Structure 1
Amino acid sequence: MDHFTHDGLQLAYIDEGDRGAPVVMLLHGFASSMRVNWIDPGWVMALTREGYRVVAFDHRGHGRSDKPTDAAAYAPEKMASDALALADHLQIGTATLFGYSMGARVSAFAAFAYPGRFTRLIFGGLGIGLVKGVGDWDPIAAALRAPSLDDVADERGRMFRAFADKTKSDRLALAACIETSRDELTPDEVAKINQPTLIGVGTRDEIAGSPQDLAALMPNARVFQIENRDHMLSVGDRSFKAAVIDFLHETD
């Protein structure tokens, strides 16, 4: 993994595939990393095999990137600017953004702010929650700050605390992240995101919100339902991989 510097932070990234190929930039989800979301589930291999240049990075607070504990560092606009900074660092003119869950939220903010640079979008694990929110995340922050998993009673808090423990994450950085990274775009802002967009959400996903409702707000979006998958399992689903590759080839 290499690193680049932005906003005073060292952020880890990978750059795989033919340098002259169309670029797909991958943005992982909360409490995850580029390895957990993209490398281990086979996304990097699948996309490079299809002829794409794949760039991915660990969000601030995650993986092998720096981990500030100030919640202000995790405003979606700041996290979106990391994607632009990496594109600038690698001298990438335009790219497709593919984000999962929190990464999809950051991708939406980046697409809204820098439409000329991010010309196609893939949102995984996030539907109308981009606009309406995805529930009460304060128990998750509390769970991350708890002394141990045994001290966490909230079901969703336990899920994310267990995941953070499994990935050996910096729990204080994640607690700061979840306090601000969940900010929302307005319906009017989402309606201005006119890039071709694929929205993939599991049919058992109780976090993302309706993908159909989100697509209805956007002028150029389509939905792929990931059958019988919940929020945690959708990202590695084979049918989702096939739908993403079809979408990329159709819009090349």
Structure 2
Amino acid sequence: MSKFKTWDGLELEYRVWEGDGRTVVLQHGVVADTNANWMSMGVVTALQAAGHRVVSLDARGHGRSEKPHDAARYSWDAMARDVRALYDELGLEDVAQVGYSMGGVISLLVAAADERVAKLAVGGIGSGVIDCGGVDRRVVEPEAILLAMNGDGAGAPPVARMFRVLADAVRADLAAIRAVVEGLDDRPITGLDDITVPALVLAGSEDPFAAEPERLAAALPEGRSVVVPGDHMLAVIHAEFKAALVDFVR
């Protein structure tokens, strides 16, 4: 595990697993971290077994990275710049960028702006990117997630409570997570047609946050979608998710 100072001085943690193949950069979802989203789910192991060099970043406010409680330190653009700053830090070229949920939106922005991305795979998101400007607010409003992160989360709807259960499991900094949720703006995500590299949209069959993945794939010039079993939290653990990702990155 290593740390670096990103573009605005925050100290972020990342981890590297060496390999001879293409470098795969992983960006996790909201509340989660490298371990919860990628290591414990077997994704890192599957990519390593295929010979890839794997890099995973703990996003600002998450995991072992610095966690300011000021919502102004969080935005989609800020988090995308963090990923690109990590490319600079490690001298990365010819990257396969992979993101899940919040990390999927971040990865779309990175791929739209950075020519070092040779392939892009996103999971846990779908038509909400097109219709809602990012994470699908038709499934849960930010206010519901904020409620889930207050006190014991009582009164929050079940879909928001899901994130609180995860937050407690990973011992997340709840004040930082609230700042993340408040800071991520709801302006439209643009530039999808600028992503001309091969792109894969992975969606769990029972994941409401990844509804209509084919619409997101169709918005990407070289996009295609694959539906695997599972909901938002568990699709990534399924063997079909890892197999599709490894096959695509290869």
Give the structure 2 partner of residue 141 of structure 1: 146
Distance (Å, rounded) in 2 between the aligned partners of 1:111 and 1:9? 22
Residue aligning to 1:23: 23
RMSD: 1.4
TM-score, normalised with respect to structure 2:
0.93
Instruction: Out of 172-181 and 46-55, give the one that drifted further.
Output: 172-181
What SS class does the counterpart of residue 218 from structure 1 fall into? coil
Contact 2:145/2:156, CA 8 A, preserved across alignment: no
User: How much does 1:131 deviate?
Assistant: 2.0
- Closer/same/farther in 2, CA of residues 143 and 210 from structure 1, 3 Å limit: same
| Distance (whole Å) between structure 2 residues aligned to residue 180 and residue 132 of structure 1 | 19
Please, which of 151, 170, 180 is the counterpart of residue 183 of structure 2? 180
Aligned to 1:73: 73
> Counterparts of 1:57-136 in structure 2 under 5 Å?
57-114=57-114, 116-133=115-132, 134-135=136-137, 136=141
- In the alignment, is the contact (CA less than 8 A) between 2:4 and 2:13 conserved in 1? yes
Structure 2 letter corresponding to 1:138: E
Question: In 2, Cα distance between the equivalents of 1:185 and 1:106?
Answer: 13
Find 1:153's aligned residue among 139, 156, 159: 156
Structure 1: distance between partners of 2:167 and 2:152 = 11
Shift of 1:102: 0.4
TM-score, normalised by the number of residues in structure 1: 0.92
Indicate if the aligned counterparts of 2:29 and 2:103 stay in contact, CA closer than 8 A: yes
Residues of 2 paired with 1:95 and 1:207: CA distance?
A: 26
**1:35–1:184: structure 2 CA closer, same or farther, 3 Å change rule?**
farther
Distance in 1 of aligned mates of 2:160 and 2:76: 22
Q: Give, in whole Å, the separation in 2 of the partners of 1:147 and 1:246.
A: 43
**Equivalenced residues, count:** 243
SS at match of 1:207: helix
Gaps of 5+ in 1: none
Q: Deviations over 1:198-229 (max 9, x none)?
A: 100011111223101111111100111012x1
AA of the residue aligned to 1:87: Y
Helix, strand or coil at the partner of 1:63: coil
SS of the residue corresponding to residue 208 of structure 2 reads coil
* Equivalent AA in structure 2 for residue 70 of structure 1: D
